[in-house]
Structure 1
Amino acid sequence: MNHYAYWRSELENPLRRLPMKSPILLEDEQRDVLERWSRSRTVSLRWRERAQIILAATEKVSDAVIAARLGTTRHRVARWRRRFASGGVEALKKDRPRAGRPPRVDAAKVKQIVRLTTQTQPTHATQWSTRSMAKRVGVSDTTVLRVWHAHGLKPHRVRTFKLSNDPQFTEKLEDIVGLYLAPPEHALVLCCDEKSQIQALDRTQPGLPIKKGRAQTMTHDYKRNGTTTLFAALNILDGQVIGHCQSRHTHVEWLKFLKKVDRNTPKGKELHLIVDNYATHKHPEVKAWLALHPRFHIHFTPTSASWLNMVERFFRSITVDRLRCGVFHSVADLEKAISGYINHYNKNPKPFVWTAKANDILEKVVRAQTTLDKMGQTA
């Protein structure tokens, strides 16, 4: 139907003889939003129809004509004209609550499910399942699942934590965070640690590569071809990593690594090394060597607070990107892969930026300790 035939049919339509409504006046911003909705393929179909109704209502035509043009009902057109007149564009987004079928599970049952999930354990198990909870309460397992979703409960998931009991926790925390947020001038801050017992795992059978519709395959069993230990120092300024693989991780290997750090850093720079409390780092021979090299300054992390050492973030990257799914026929292959990853990483390093302040961390620790103390009193 061409443009002339359409308007002729509109004029001959008996609906045109119905009373005309006063056209809706739109502001420029409102018109832009409604026109965008009316053309969009991503917004809700309801929003699109409502936008088209209001845009059509800017003409001096009846609700029946608009309804016939958009394939809807006259009552719906009148409803959204009224709501737009009272609430603007925001009113078009809201649907009034409908009566619907009343819930088959009363509030008492919901409270019981939540209480049992959060405060009890089933017999001979550590957490509730939907079926065990359904049997206990007398509802369906899908009902239990809906209640858990509504209250954000996931009994099958457990998050790990560990609070440091180091008596010098505050002093060590402030020392290390201070190095991160305000590193000293004419000095380098290096986060150092060992990633020990990295296994050179070989698969018993070759797997299949990834392809469309199929994930990469790898046998569940493997052959152990030995282990190595990666010593690494992360420069917090530019993200560069000094790495060195050794067969063991005693004080002898730690001293070899310190000497490599000494050779691979500018001689005129003070070196602040952040390390954990591993006994190797405090060996008498290590202390004697450090006394002869006064540019080395050691900063120990609090006990059970390895998360303060940013080199752990690099260890995560190399584990996920190179080691976890790797196949290594020997320790030499493993060490070659680690060395290659570090060389590639150092070509375009990205330093990890520390943003948390010491006071904010201490507040979280205090809250966690308070919660633990309360649980211990109620147990």
Structure 2
Amino acid sequence: MKSPFLIHLNPAEQGVLGYRARGSKRPHREVERARIILAAARGEPLARIAAALGVHVDTVRKWCKRFATEGMAGLKDRHRSGRPRVFTAVQVAGIKALACTPPTDRGLPLSRFSTGEIVSLARAEHLVQSISPTTVWRWLDTDAIKPWQHRSWIFPRDPDFALKAGRVLDLYARTWNGQPLGPDDYVVSADEKSQLQALHRRHLSLPPGPGRAERIEFEYSRGGTLAYLAAYDVHRARVAGSIAPSTGIAPFMALAGQVMATEPYASARRVFWVVDNGSSHNRAPPSPG
């Protein structure tokens, strides 16, 4: 089948199409269209071009016709309108308004809405007939400002906060009173986590086998609550920790003694301890008796 379209290439078009046809990293559609036009310009029949490139002959005819009538511009993809919108702008705005509303305003015992809860509420209030949580998440995720999100924050109330924070930041940057720390100076940051549940499984887990995942017993026993105290060497990424029944000055001093009794801190010139203002750090231990 001889092509009904006359394809004539000038040197510039020949060069561009040849470059595209050889491009191993170019999009496949560009390479394919360039090879179709080059073959048609050599006078090859449409059927032979289609067989050589593994495409339908109608595809070859389509691109030959476009090039014959529009030139190089005809090899570009047409603008597509895409799938028509399923939801109106009013519905999208209504969903976002729900996300910005505290659940307590609707008498719900929640701190914030999940996407599934927003879907249920939108259907109950007849905003939409049906919508997926994924669609709601996508709408909310694309917004530049997300008033439905929040995080905890404490505004500094100490009038000397800047001075105190500056000292800590200087230590983290290995500086004290304007002088760099020496090789035998150390900075340790300490804190504790209280009310940790001590749990253990009542039965041993079964190891995985062929075609079977590891099996873990769901029942567990409670061992009460414990506190974990940790001291982190800021510049050497080393952690020393201890466990105590609760937090307090006595467990903290025990941790400090544990750290200071080990090297390199035991023989260090200086060890700077960074702690918060919790009661574990600013009260003297009770006197005996």
TM-score (norm 2): 0.69
1:75 is aligned to 62
Aligned length: 257
Paired residue secondary structure (1:284)? coil
Residues 186-214 of structure 1 show CA distances to partners (whole Å, capped at 9, x for unaligned) of 21111112233444422123333356766
Q: Secondary structure of 2:31's match? A: helix
Q: Aligned partners of 2:131, 2:123: CA distance in 1, in Å? A: 8
Counterpart pick for 2:157 among 152, 166, 183:
166
- Give the letter for the 1:24 counterpart: Q
C-alpha offsets along residues 259-305 of structure 1, whole Å, 9 cap, x if unaligned?
2222221524211111122212112359xxxxxxxxxxxxxxxxxxx
Q: What is residue 250 of structure 2 aligned with on the other side?
A: 252
Which position in structure 1 is the counterpart of 2:42?
61
Amino acid at match of 1:282: N
Paired with 1:236 and 1:181, the residues of 2 have a C-alpha distance of 10
Alignment pair present for 1:175 and 2:175: no
Unaligned runs of 5+ in 1: 1-13, 38-46, 287-379
Q: What is the correspondence of 1:82-231 to structure 2 with a 5 Å cutoff?
A: 85-86=72-73, 96-98=79-81, 100=83, 102-119=84-101, 121=103, 123-125=106-108, 126=110, 127=113, 128-142=117-131, 146-152=135-141, 160-167=151-158, 168-183=160-175, 184-186=180-182, 187-210=185-208, 215-231=213-229
Q: Percent identity?
A: 19
Deviation beyond 6 Å, 4+ runs, structure 1 = 80-84
Equivalent residue letter for 2:130: D
Q: Which amino acid aligns with 1:54?
A: A
Give the distance between the partners of 1:49 and 1:189, measured in 2 at CA.
60
Tell me, what secondary structure is at the counterpart of 1:15? coil
Aligned-partner SS, 1:26? helix
SS at match of 1:196: strand
Structure exhibiting the larger radius of gyration computed from Cα positions: 2
> Normalising by structure 1, what TM-score?
0.55
Q: Distance in 2 between matches of 1:285 and 1:263?
A: 20
Secondary structure of residue in 1 paired with 2:236: coil
Distance in 1 (CA, whole Å) between partners of 2:209 and 2:70 is 53
Counterpart amino acid of residue 251 in structure 2 = E
Retained in 1: the 8 A contact 2:198–2:225?
Answer: yes
Structure 1 position 25, deviation (Å) = 1.2
The question of whether the paired residues in 2 share the 8 Å contact of 1:133 and 1:144 is answered with no
Instruction: Identify, as 1 or 2, the structure richer in helix.
Output: 1
Letter in 2 for 1:225: G
CA contact (8 A) 2:20 2:30 kept: no
Deviation sequence 1:103-144 (CA, Å, 0-9, x none)? 353323332333333246573324443132023134222278
SS of corresponding position for 2:206:
coil
Task: Find the residue that maps to 1:134 and give its secondary structure.
Answer: helix
CA distance in 2, matches of 1:285, 1:188: 25
Tell me the distance in 1 between the aligned counterparts of 2:222 and 2:132. 47
